[in-house]
């Protein structure tokens, strides 16, 4: 599980640094400060 969290942290950090919106239905990203998340199921 540790590598799984590291992978998610890298994804979130990359999106924040590049000012991207992360498109995902994974709720683990919803509480990351400074990360914009868009759930594709809400479109």
Report yes or no: 22 and 28 within 8 Å, Cβ to Cβ. no
Tokens of 42: 């809400």
Q: Which domain holds residue 9?
A: 2-42
Tokens of 17: 């640094």
pLDDT per position as a tens digit, 1-43: 689 999 999 999 999 999 999 999 999 999 999 999 999 999 9
Q: Is this structure's pTM higher than 0.85?
A: yes
Q: Is 40 exposed, middle or buried (0-12, 13-18, 19+ CB in 10 A)?
A: exposed
Tokens of 25: 């239905």
Q: Measure the CA–CA gap between 12 and 22, rounded to whole angstroms.
A: 8
How many domains does the structure of the chain reveal?
1
Structure confidence at residue 2 (pLDDT): 86
Q: Measure the CA–CA gap between 9 and 40, rounded to whole angstroms.
A: 20
């Amino acid at each position: 599980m540790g590598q799984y969290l590291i992978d998610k942290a890298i994804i979130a950090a990359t999106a924040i640094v590049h000012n991207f919106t992360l498109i995902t239905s994974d709720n683990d990203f919803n509480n990351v400060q400074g990360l914009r998340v868009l759930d594709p199921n809400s479109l």
